Amino acid sequence: MRKTFVTICALCLCLVGMRAQGVSVTEGKIAVGDNPAWSQPSFVDSAWQTLALDREWGEQGIQKTNGYAWYRIHVVIPSSLRQGVAKEVLLDLGPIDDTDETWLNGVQVGKTGSNPEDPAGYHGQWNVPRRYLVDPSLIRWDQENILAVRVYNASGPGGFFERPVWIGKPALSDYVSLAVTKGKNSADVVLASRISCGGTVTVVKEDLLGGGELEGFSRKVKLNPRKPYKVSVPMDGQVRVVVSYADNLFEDRLDASLTNPYILTPPAPAIPRYNGPLVFGVRPGSPVIFRLAFSGEKPMKYAVEGLPEGVVLDEDKGVLSGSVADEGDYPLTFVATNDKGTTRASFTLKVGPQIALTPPMGWNSWNCWGLSVSQEKVMASASAFLNAGLADYGYSYINIDDAWEAAGRNPDGTLSANEKFPDMKGLGDWLHANGLKLGIYSSPGDRTCGGCIGSIDHEKQDAETWASWGVDYLKYDWCGYSKVFNPGKDHSKAAYLRPYVKMQQYLREQPRDIFYSLCQYGMADVWEWGAFVDANSWRTTGDITDTWESLYEIGFERQTELYPYAGPGHWNDPDMLVVGKVGWSSLLRDSRLTPDEQYTHISLWSLLSANMLIGCDLSQMDAFTFNLLCNNEVNAVNQDILGRQAHRDVEEDGVQLWSRDLYDGGKAVGIFNLNEAPVPALLKGCLEKMGIEADTVRDLWRQKDIPTDAVYRIPSHGVLFVKVKNL
């Protein structure tokens, strides 16, 4: 933590803080536009505007949001930084929205991301911290230095945004990297260094169920750029490999760990098995878009008994299409046949006013691609629905989040997609032909959260445009509407409802069913009135991220009182899933949640009847993520037709017991261990505390019946997720 800032005098206009190890710079100068001369120290920038470096330029009165702008930061660098272990000096610029090229005293010293005119095309990297090491010969010691930063921003407010710039001594991590990655049955440790150094590596294998260490060793190592240190540690079951490296020169250490992503879901049988919801709601006359979700060996042939007039089946794909004129419940039998046999499943098509009879299951672009989404990336995940088999488990929505919008409206006021989405209608048609559905995103304000055009004063036109593309889902995100809302100072519930009622009317005028998803982070207790504006779901919190803190707050703390408000047709939405490869940008990483936290995430979202919108790039899905998303017994809790959201029954010593009723008389129960260490849980005792008697208990992840009078060890942040039934 940087706590001590002492203001020193500066020749420059910027605010400078200094402590022994470096200089903190809180302000810089900015000009919108692009000019190579601005990189040079001789350029006179006295007419430029001064800006804080911990907030984006869009928030500081710079109107132009997209394109190039330059920062020039004047800073005195003290010669005290010359001494130290490393010869170089660190320029720690923090993350920059979206790309940067950086010059120190006229010499380029760094670049992150790629600009539209670069051979590779645009690649934003807004969330990547910039740490550039510079040769000390470039520095004018104890004098003013000019740091010139050319920034390209694709959309939204851009530039420096997180924290002051820091100029100081490099850290161990600037030279030495420690990575622990998953090998076949091992944790593979690689310690690599850009300089010659040495220290001690310690490796420990921990037992996540029993607690304690299984094995470990400490070793002295010498590193140089040609000689990394590598070791593979065998890994099996519920274990974690923890590695540290203590460096002699820096007197500092690096830590890394890897929990084995152990798979609990048994493989699906080769014979067809139905994994989808038991009901589907469609309004009279609206298109029926439904894919029969059968796992099992392909090819498969499908048949449906009891189809109402107007609906047809594609027998090879298992896709229902058409429409039904008359309201009513139509009991159907799905039949799927492959080389291994035939399976039948009962189902009800409910033609009536209510859609979304079970929570939506699908994919959304935001948590992986953020503003870098494109039609190609959307298609890559949509194809994985078919190729990797997610559609066989009931996932059907492919939702495009922010950044599909063109930069301006057309002369007639309509809004087209930008160049990254060459054919929205074609995309919609392709999805529908495969029994999948298309989702889109907008805001009731003038701008979306990502700075794109919103729907204000064009609600009708936008609803019509979306319907013409075949949109089946709208996420309508408050964001820019704050500007309309605040000046009025009308904070009544009616004021919060207004923009959502308006769009709802136009959605209902379209000749298709459009799932209406409110996104306003839970303001004005949206769960109390969401259903009145005909919403099918409403976000209950701010944005989720892939950390335990975020999952804990959003999933556990903020949902406890919300169960009365969910039910068929209208659901609480605690935000999208953060498993698999996420990143909110073109740069993806594995979710930072541990495997146990990911089991907890999916179990909890199933209990909460939450929207199951996958937030990762499905074209890079691994076996562990598939096991999380495609466990039919776990998903059946989420899709249960009673639609009763779980409530927390017991909270004791860091263990929370949640339960929900199921339509077949059973109950789903989650025993969550929120502690930092594993806990033993006597299943019978837990159920008794909840007032639940059980004849049979089934472990849903492992898909096997288990005895109640046994003690189960639950890993830290992990879960035992069961279904209880009485005979």
Q: Which residues bind ligand GLA (CB under 6 A)?
A: 366, 401-402, 441, 448-450, 477, 519, 543
- Which residues lie below 8 Å from residue 501, measured CB to CB, with a gap of 6+? 533
Find the shortest distance in angstroms from Cβ 441 to ligand GLA: 6
Identify which of 226, 231, 224 has the alpha carbon closest to the alpha carbon of residue 202: 231
With respect to ligand GLA, which residue has the nearer C-beta, 148 or 449?
A: 449
477 catalytic? Reply is: yes
Sign of the C-alpha dihedral computed for residues 384, 386, 388 and 390 taken in this order: positive
With respect to ligand GLA, which residue has the nearer C-beta, 543 or 649?
A: 543
Find the shortest distance in angstroms from Cβ 403 to ligand GLA: 7
- Which residues lie below 8 Å from residue 425, measured CB to CB, with a gap of 6+? 468, 469, 470
Residue 610 phi/psi, 5-degree rounding, is: -80, 155
With respect to ligand GLA, which residue has the nearer C-beta, 283 or 447?
A: 447
DSSP helix/strand/coil, 419: coil
DSSP per-residue string spanning 150-180: EEEE-SSS-EE-SS-EEEEPPPGGGTEEEEE
- Which residues lie below 8 Å from residue 77, measured CB to CB, with a gap of 6+? 23, 89, 139, 140, 141, 142, 145, 167
List, as own/partner pairs, every contact residues 521-524 make where C-beta atoms lie below 8 angstroms and the sequence separation is at least 24, other chains included.
Answer: 521/478, 522/558, 523/478, 523/496, 524/491, 524/493, 524/496
CA distances, 161 to each of 7, 96, 167, 555 (Å): 21, 7, 17, 28
Find the shortest distance in angstroms from Cβ 98 to ligand GLA: 14
**Between the CA atoms of 428, 605, 387 and 433, what dihedral angle is there, to the nearest 10 degrees?**
-30
Please tell me which residue in 174, 477, 534, 575 is annotated as part of the active site: 477
With respect to ligand GLA, which residue has the nearer C-beta, 466 or 626?
A: 466
Find the shortest distance in angstroms from Cβ 477 to ligand GLA: 5
DSSP per-residue string spanning 492-535: SHHHHHHHHHHHHHHHHTSSS--EEEEESTTGGGHHHHGGGGT-
Residue in this structure with the two tokens 């000689």, named with its chain if needed: 227
Residues 109, 134: contact at Cβ < 8 Å?
yes
User: At 648, which helix (H) or strand (E)?
Assistant: strand 647-652
- DSSP conformation class of 70: E
C-alpha atoms less than 13 angstroms from C-alpha of 115 in its C-beta half-sphere: 15
Chain centroid to Cα 180, Å, comes to 23
Find the shortest distance in angstroms from Cβ 545 to ligand GLA: 11
By Cβ distance, which residue is nearest to ligand GLA? Answer: 449
With respect to ligand GLA, which residue has the nearer C-beta, 247 or 401?
A: 401
Cis peptide leading into residue 617 (ω within 30°): no
Please tell me which residue in 543, 622, 649, 661 is annotated as part of the active site: 543
543 catalytic? Reply is: yes
Identify which of 611, 538, 617 has the alpha carbon closest to the alpha carbon of residue 576: 611
Per-residue tokens: 311? 């609906």
- Which residues lie below 8 Å from residue 342, measured CB to CB, with a gap of 6+? 272, 335, 336
Q: Which amino acids are annotated catalytic?
A: 477, 543
